[in-house]
């Protein structure tokens, strides 16, 4: 990662520790990578956020660096205590670590405002993170846990799982109360035909946050595989056209971060 221009530090909350890659200047944004791992598409997205004028803090949460394997990493996380075994309606211990990271990043910059972005498996992790006072903007992109192989493959097997997420109801309530009290905005986003991240989950999250959340659902990006990774895989694979949904989504996220991270937290 050093050869790609990233610095690094280790953040340890006493229970867990992870390397955090850092790059750029400007307001801080914590970006949590998705499955299949911390790899080239993640780096491309981080560089786009850096180019837009932000300092990214990207924790390396699972898998070897610059290595991609959805099946193996998913299997490992299913038996990981730190990730709460990817259970529905349960906040994983890694969320406490991520909240500690958010506190540390804000405090290290004179209590500056911090943005957080979660994608896929980490999408819903934004919810407990916005409980932290320094977090002033959250992007929940294609939240994907729990998921259903049957639904992904066939489009059948709908059920209550489609509204569930890997975050506890208590954390959801605390997060919505904090966002309402301090007017912290949330973006929730996904592709309309994404079977990994169903509409029902995104809509439930947006409804819970009420006026503080905006739900964006995008059309087909014209990529060669099933659309899911709005800001990473699909962005890299899509036509470089300003009207492509992936480009619209990125510009919207960047504008959202600029608007909400320009002042100091109080």
Rounded-to-integer distance, Cα 42 and Cα 39, Å: 5
Spatial CB neighbours of 134, under 8 Å, sequence gap ≥ 6? 102, 103, 105, 106, 107, 111, 112, 113, 114, 265
Residue 264, pLDDT > 80, answer no
- pLDDT bracket for residue 1 (50, 70, 90): confident
What is the sign of the dihedral through the CA atoms of 76, 79, 84 and 88? positive
Nearest to 173 by CA among 209, 119, 215, 133: 209
pLDDT of res. 263: 54
Nearest to 39 by CA among 13, 73, 89: 73
Chain segment 187-204, per-residue pLDDT in tens: 999 999 999 999 999 999
Nearest to 208 by CA among 141, 131, 138, 127: 127
Nearest to 188 by CA among 212, 149, 221, 216: 216
- pLDDT bracket for residue 2 (50, 70, 90): confident
HSE toward the beta carbon, residue 137, CA cutoff 13 A: 24
Residue 241, pLDDT > 90, answer yes
Other residues' Cβ atoms within 10 Å of the Cβ of residue 193:
14
Residue 123, pLDDT > 90, answer yes
Residue 124, pLDDT > 90, answer yes
pLDDT of res. 4: 82
Residue appearing with tokens 């035909």: 193
Cα distances (angstroms) measured from residue 31 to each of 100, 176, 177, 257: 14, 21, 23, 12
Residue 111, pLDDT > 70, answer yes
Residue appearing with tokens 């994983």: 92
Q: Are 142 and 127 in contact (CB under 8 A)?
A: no
Residue appearing with tokens 């595989």: 225
Nearest to 249 by CA among 175, 168, 181, 194: 194
**3-state SS, residue 39:** coil
pLDDT of res. 68: 84
- pLDDT bracket for residue 266 (50, 70, 90): very low
Q: Mind listing the domains of the chain with CATH numbers?
A: 2-260 (3.40.50.1820)
Task: Tell if the pTM clears 0.75, that is, is over it.
Answer: yes
- pLDDT bracket for residue 262 (50, 70, 90): confident
Residue 110, pLDDT > 50, answer yes
Chain segment 139-172, per-residue pLDDT in tens: 999 999 999 999 999 999 999 999 999 999 999 9
**pLDDT, mean of residues 41-55:** 98
- pLDDT bracket for residue 225 (50, 70, 90): confident
Residue 24, pLDDT > 90, answer yes
Residue appearing with tokens 């004028």: 53
DSSP string, 206-249: HHHHGGGEEEEEE-----SS----TTTHHHHHS-S-TTSHHHHH
Please state, rounded to an integer, the average pLDDT across all residues of the chain: 95
pLDDT above 70: percentage of residues in the chain: 98
């Amino acid at each position: 990662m050093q050869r790609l221009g990233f610095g690094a530090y280790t953040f340890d909350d006493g229970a867990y520790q992870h390397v955090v890659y850092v790059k750029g200047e400007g307001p801080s944004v914590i970006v949590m990578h998705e499955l299949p791992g911390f790899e080239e598409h993640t780096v491309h997205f981080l560089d786009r956020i850096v180019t837009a004028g932000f300092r990214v803090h990207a924790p390396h949460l699972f898998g070897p660096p610059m290595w991609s394997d959805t099946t193996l990493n998913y299997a490992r996380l299913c038996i990981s205590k730190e990730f709460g075994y990817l259970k529905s309606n349960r906040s994983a211990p890694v969320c406490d670590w991520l909240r500690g990271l958010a506190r540390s990043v804000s405090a290290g910059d004179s209590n500056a405002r911090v943005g957080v972005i979660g994608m896929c498996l980490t999408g819903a992790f934004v919810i407990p993170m916005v409980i932290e006072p320094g977090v002033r903007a959250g992007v929940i992109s294609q939240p994907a846990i729990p998921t259903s192989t049957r639904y992904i493959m066939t489009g059948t097997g709908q059920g209550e799982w489609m509204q569930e997420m890997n975050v506890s109801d208590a954390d959801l309530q605390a997060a919505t109360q904090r966002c309402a009290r301090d007017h912290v905005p949330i973006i929730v986003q996904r592709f309309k035909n994404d079977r990994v991240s169903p509409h029902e989950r995104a809509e439930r999250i947006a409804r819970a946050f009420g006026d503080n959340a905006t739900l964006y659902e995008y059309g087909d990006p014209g990529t060669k595989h099933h659309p899911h990774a709005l800001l990473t895989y699909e962005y890299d694979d899509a036509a470089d056209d300003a009207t492509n949904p992936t480009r619209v989504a990125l510009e919207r996220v960047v504008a959202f971060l600029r608007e909400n991270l320009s002042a100091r937290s109080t």
